[in-house]
């Protein structure tokens, strides 16, 4: 829950692997004897020249053991071989060319080239590319979490806390309600990453309020909600006991989402700034309130409550394409300027909160603010609301309204279309790096120099190998 108020890498190459007969057998024998192991990086002195990724392409001379001799030179000179490939020469059909990717500085590269010329014909080379961002380039970049546990540092920076309610809030004069709100806030403030989310024993009054909201909204969903929402809502009933007479526990919802899309729930005490809220999305973490709106007016709430979170957001966070869309907005916000974060938050507001889409020629709602508000859901699809195509450049300048209906709603043909547009918009955000989410470590990789970019390239090569293997096996089954 957030407040809408603001406080080229070098192109790689891929060569087909070729069987180079006797030379390859010799190489494999040497590898099996551990003659060629990946050289571990030596501890470098401070005055050692900085290393970078260098590329050498050479062809073998007509002599037995030429490849083995050549590769031994890299080992003897303590040059770390990152990647080796072979291909048939484009220059001479009778020759093979060897592609070697290595970590080297200019001095090492010159030495290895001179030694290689005695055994091979050097065809091409690219010197080390040590280009990277200096620390001064990162000086003005706002702090952002690098790993999921870093959210502990910003999840409690709420703009309003506990019993702090505005004078026009329905529960402002209700001391019992204010005390209950503080109870929920204290639980959220004590939460740390990895903790189970505390289970709540909701009061009879809270369950009754939830029931009214649940019942009235479910009357509208079949004709107003998008198909993805309608597909996932019954799953909440099945796996999280989401019913008119029962408020789901956030821990159960978090486990459900983790299995569906990798998203998890984190309890929050109140409004977060756009920067802190979007940062959570980058790690597929959704900050979620646990308190229930005041019972005096079940169909109105001045701020997001658990009815809004569970009925508005959760069903679509269980949809893979929508989950990715949400995460990409979060990733684009990391390290961005306040102005850029505000633009991203506004796009989030008019998509994830109040977005519309077209399905079977009809307008349908996918925004959580609409799907949890009976009156505004009816208004947005009434034919009287102003509708515009979603364009991040335009949408990001639109005023967000939280006290009345929106002046305009933005429509996309699909989540995929919205995602592509947001992806292109994110590229216009000025920051001296980009980021990539690592699902294995639940951290973000900051891509700001050639080694970090090359590391991603290596991972992508592995993923492409898996895809290639799958396609090969499929072709065999189909007899292609």
**What are the tokens at 475?**
């072709």
What burial class does residue 399 get, using C-beta atoms within 10 Å of its C-beta: 0-12 exposed, 13-18 middle, 19+ buried? exposed
Measured CA to CA, the distance from residue 359 to residue 230 in angstroms comes to: 13
- For the question of residue 206 being annotated catalytic, the response is no
User: Is residue 67 a contact partner of residue 20, using CB atoms and an 8 Å limit?
Assistant: yes
Query: What does each C-alpha distance from 410 to 254, 301, 314, 350, 420 come to in angstroms?
Result: 29, 23, 21, 6, 15
- For the question of residue 353 being annotated catalytic, the response is yes
| Sheet hosting strand 387-389, strand order edge to edge | 362-365, 356-359, 409-412, 387-389
- For the question of residue 193 being annotated catalytic, the response is no
- The catalytic position among 23, 228, 328, 353 is 353
- The catalytic position among 86, 372, 373, 396 is 372
- The catalytic position among 119, 169, 294, 308 is 308
- For the question of residue 44 being annotated catalytic, the response is no
**What are the tokens at 13?**
């190459």
User: Is residue 418 a contact partner of residue 390, using CB atoms and an 8 Å limit?
Assistant: yes
Q: By C-alpha distance, which of 132, 105, 134 is closest to 447?
A: 132
- The catalytic position among 313, 328, 333, 376 is 313
For residues 350-363, b (16+ Cβ closer than 10 Å) or e, as one string? bbbbbbbbeeeeeb
Helices (H), 77-174: 106-116
Catalytically annotated residues: 308, 313, 353, 372
């Amino acid at each position: 829950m957030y407040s809408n108020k603001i406080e080229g890498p070098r192109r790689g190459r891929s060569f087909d692997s070729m069987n180079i007969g006797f030379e390859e057998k010799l190489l494999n024998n040497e590898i099996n004897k551990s003659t060629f192991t990946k050289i571990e990086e030596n501890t470098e002195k401070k005055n050692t020249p900085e290393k970078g990724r260098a590329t050498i392409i050479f062809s073998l001379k007509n002599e037995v053991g030429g490849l083995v001799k050549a590769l031994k030179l890299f080992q003897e000179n303590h040059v770390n071989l990152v990647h080796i490939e072979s291909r048939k020469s484009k220059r001479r059909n009778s020759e093979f060319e060897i592609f070697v990717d290595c970590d080297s500085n200019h001095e090492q590269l010159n030495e290895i080239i001179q030694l290689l010329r005695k055994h091979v014909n050097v065809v091409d080379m690219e010197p080390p590319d040590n280009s990277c961002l200096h620390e001064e380039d990162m000086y003005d970049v706002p702090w952002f979490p690098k790993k999921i546990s870093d959210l502990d540092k910003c999840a409690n920076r709420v703009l309003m806390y506990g019993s702090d309610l505005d004078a026009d809030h329905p529960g402002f004069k209700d001391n019992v309600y204010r005390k209950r709100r503080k109870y929920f806030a204290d639980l959220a403030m004590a939460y740390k990453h990895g903790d189970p989310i505390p289970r709540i024993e909701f009061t009879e009054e809270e369950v009754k309020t939830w029931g009214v909201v649940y019942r009235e909204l479910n009357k509208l969903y079949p004709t107003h909600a998008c198909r993805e929402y309608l597909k996932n809502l019954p799953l909440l009933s099945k796996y999280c006991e989401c019913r008119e007479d029962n408020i789901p526990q956030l821990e159960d919802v978090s486990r459900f989402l983790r299995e569906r899309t990798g998203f998890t729930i984190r309890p929050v005490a109140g409004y977060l700034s756009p920067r802190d809220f979007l940062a959570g999305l980058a790690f597929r973490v959704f900050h979620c309130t646990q308190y229930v709106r005041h019972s005096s007016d079940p169909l109105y709430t001045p701020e997001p409550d658990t009815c809004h979170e569970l009925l508005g957001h959760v069903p679509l966070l269980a949809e893979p394409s929508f989950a990715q869309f949400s995460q990409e907005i979060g990733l684009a916000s990391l390290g961005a300027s306040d102005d850029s974060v505000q633009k991203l938050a506004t796009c989030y507001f008019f998509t994830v909160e109040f977005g519309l889409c077209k399905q079977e020629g009809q307008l349908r709602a996918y925004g959580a603010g609409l799907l949890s508000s009976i009156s505004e859901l009816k208004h947005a699809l009434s034919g009287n609301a102003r509708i515009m195509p979603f364009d991040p450049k335009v949408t990001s300048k639109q005023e967000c309204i939280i006290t009345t209906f929106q002046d305009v709603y933005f429509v996309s043909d699909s989540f995929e279309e919205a995602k592509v547009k947001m992806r292109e918009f994110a590229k216009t955000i000025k920051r001296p790096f980009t980021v990539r989410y690592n699902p294995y470590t639940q951290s973000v990789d900051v891509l700001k120099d050639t080694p970090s970019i090359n590391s991603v390239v290596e991972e992508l090569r592995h993923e492409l190998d898996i895809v290639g293997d799958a396609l090969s096996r499929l072709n065999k089954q189909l007899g292609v």
